[in-house]
A and B are shown apart, each in its own frame.
Chain A
Amino acid sequence: MHAIDLIRRSSFLLLTSLLCAGVHFAVLPGPPDVFEDPHAIDFNEAQGMDSVIWVDARPEHQFLERSYPGAISLNEDNWASAVENLLLDWQPGQAIVIFCDSRACGASQVLAERMREELGLEEVYWLVGGWEEMPRR
């Protein structure tokens, strides 16, 4: 195959992909609103609550490096031990807000769902934007 032919075919694939992507973007409805999830919460809303337990769902080493003041480390790896400590601190009616690394991490959502299902806690929220959007003190 001649180089020119190869370039022509590659360009065709690239341009077709670009065209399909453009059409796809034009016809697809906008992004889903994360706040449609009743358990999603943003930082200001969480801070406005009367009493909150902050849960850091990031890996242990990131928690030890830096975390939100008063936050408890709880993730899938230390679930068994950390959840006991959490329940000792938790008071009925108190909200739990879980955060992970960023908007894209997903661990906070998974953990919040697990807490609601396995521990039967109602007010467990996941923080939209995660650690990335929390103020550093």
Chain B
Amino acid sequence: MGGNAAQMIARWKTGFYVAVLLGVAALFLYTGLSKLLDPYAFAQSIEGYRLVSGAPALAAAFFIPWLECLAAFALFWPRWRKAAILLLAPLLILFQLALMSAYFRGLDIDCGCFGGDASSGVGLALFRNCFLLAAFYFLYACQRYPTDEASPRIFS
């Protein structure tokens, strides 16, 4: 009986881990691809934060979506997962700092989270990123214990 309960908990943990992992990877792939479709619109969104403009904004507009896509893709492979988490989490913290700065300066801008077409406000993006940061913490914590059942292989 106790063994069955432990197995069930382990299965739930694994299922939850996989769901979080797929959710985070899918979200970053989607945001990355949507920005890649129109990097110039994303550069405009970056300029809207009034932190950088011109060439640095354009460079970020081309670089960030590729990093999001490649790191999101790397999340699917266990050997690459930790590296991907360690790149995406600081990127998310950077986004969060930029969003907070825009929020406290009262800037009326689109967050630019999903490229040029889909609009999303700064407040909503701040809220959403808190959940994403929690998800990254969870994924990272599970990675620290490679023998834990909650760190399964999606692809071998």
Which A residues form the contact surface with B (CB < 8 A)? 1, 6, 9-10, 12-14, 16-18, 20-22, 24-25, 28, 31-32, 58-59, 61-62, 100-107, 132
| 10 closest cross-chain pairs (CB), A and B | A104-B48, A9-B83, A21-B62, A17-B67, A31-B40, A17-B66, A21-B63, A20-B66, A104-B44, A10-B83
Give the secondary structure class of B's interface. helix
A60 to chain B minimum Cβ distance, whole angstroms, is 11
Given contacts A21-B66, A102-B107, 8 further A-B contacts (CB under 8 A): A14-B87, A17-B71, A25-B58, A28-B39, A59-B106, A100-B108, A105-B108, A106-B110
Question: Is A25 a contact partner of B62 (Cβ separation < 8 A)?
Answer: yes
B86 an interface residue at 8 Å Cβ cutoff? Answer: yes
Interface residues on B, range: 20 to 34
Q: Chain A contacts of B59 at CB under 8 A?
A: 21
Contact with A along B114-131 (1 / 0, CB 8 A): 000001000000000000
Q: Chain A contacts of B87 at CB under 8 A?
A: 10, 13-14
